[in-house]
Amino acid sequence: MIVFLGLVTLFATIAQWVSFRRLFTYVQKELHFKPGTYLPRATVILPCKGLDPGFAENIGKLMQQQYTDADGIPQFEVIFAVAEESDPAYSHLKKIVDQEKNVKTKIVVAGIDSRRAQKVNNQLAALEQMSNESAVIVFVDSDVIARKDFLRYLTAHLNDPTVGATTGYRFYIPFGHNWAPLLRSLWNRMSAWEMADPGYAFAWGGAMAITRENFAAAKIAQAWERSCDDDLALTTAVKGLGLKVRFVPQCLVASNGDGSVAEIIEWTNRQLILTKVYYPKLWRKAIYRASILTAWLIAVLSSVVMAFAHWDPHFLLATCTGLTLLPVEIWFLLQAQKLWYEVLLSNSRMNSDITENLVLQPDYGDPGDEKMNKAYADSFWKFTLALPLAHLVLPWMTLYSVITNRIKWRGINYELKSPTETVTI
């Protein structure tokens, strides 16, 4: 027991050190990167369903992107897509399209197709309306606040012949003290570490870009025909060409991570099953990790029971050996906390005309809301206290994805038969 727990702790320490050093080196290098003169014509596709928090503000920031030529002419168009005109977002978008004079905009009513997810159906409908002049396709979500040079950074690496797609990522910050948002935020942060590893980095549908040429070569539209997922399907298709998905820290988005227990369980289940079906390489890594941590948990709990039942020093030592994993993880959490704060603060600076007293900008309301700063600062201690619970819950939630392919997304239930077959239930 002592040997097993000692080996698990040693393995976890080495693995986290290697992963964190890779992340730290990658992010620090990217933060010093500045976009060059590459400024391809772009089509920005924004699928909508309902009114997300901060909807009007987010759309406004998109229209004001510093993605213009020397004469100040925008080098991008925006295509909004909804399922039906009855969608609450439609009337707001129609008004934006009618009033916008600077950026070319249009709205598409995609209809409903039970063979694929509604978001994917909206995106496919929008692609049919794309300008022939566009060389780059950008996909964003309606709840993303973009820094002023968001599009410049997201497209900057697409002139690298080894890069198939670029991506940002969502960064959940918990405000309350409920355990479910804490576990989701913790899970979300650890997943972000994969973004620095070329072998596992994946696109995030809230902010991803690809050249029109690579989109066609990877046959992504065909992959989406009966798909329930956009970003991981795109990831697999791009990597099938031998190209990389490149993470852009400047497009990391801070989000309010609160939610109900049911909502967060549904979200976590959906992420895992989508990964299982559309990016099995990353899912297998998650299952492998969850299996080891489950074995570690059972061994630690068994040692605790045996130590108290028999007052056996062997089991007491085994318990202490196993529990040394927790301070190791807390140390890495602290280092990552500092790194992500540097990224988020840098992004916030580009969203503000104020050079002092900068705050992280939530994607749900007032960009000057200091609650986001406080929530982020408090999150480390919350995570520290929630870490034992994470070990009790998250491995089992991960392993549950082995036995089901059913998900719920924006009120619609789907069964994922395969990457090319989705059934709306």
Q: At what angle do helices 231-239 and 261-278 cross, to 10 degrees?
A: 20
**Mean pLDDT in residue range 179-185:** 93
**Mean pLDDT in residue range 64-87:** 95
Question: What percent of the chain clears pLDDT 90, i.e. is strictly above it?
Answer: 74
pLDDT at 303 over 70: yes
CA quadruple 290, 337, 247, 141: dihedral sign: positive
**What is the distance between the alpha carbons of residues 232 and 213, in angstroms, rounded to a whole number?**
19
pLDDT at 367 over 50: no
**Mean pLDDT in residue range 184-191:** 92
Q: Closest Cα partner for 398 from 326, 297, 325, 305?
A: 297
Any idea what DSSP says for residue 146?
A: P
pLDDT at 362 over 50: no
CATH classification of 1-425 is 3.30.70.2470, yes or no? no
pTM of the model: 0.91
Predicted confidence band at 374 (pLDDT cuts at 50, 70, 90)? confident
Q: What is the mean pLDDT of the chain?
A: 90
Q: What is the pLDDT of residues 25-61, one digit of tens each?
A: 999 999 999 999 999 999 999 999 988 777 888 898 8
First to last CA, the chain: 46
pLDDT at 324 over 70: yes
What confidence score (pLDDT) does residue 352 get? 53
What confidence score (pLDDT) does residue 410 get? 79
pLDDT at 72 over 50: yes
pLDDT at 156 over 80: yes
pLDDT at 355 over 60: no
**Mean pLDDT in residue range 117-132:** 96
**What is the distance between the alpha carbons of residues 228 and 26, in angstroms, rounded to a whole number?**
31
Strand order from edge to edge, sheet including 412-418: 406-409, 412-418, 421-424
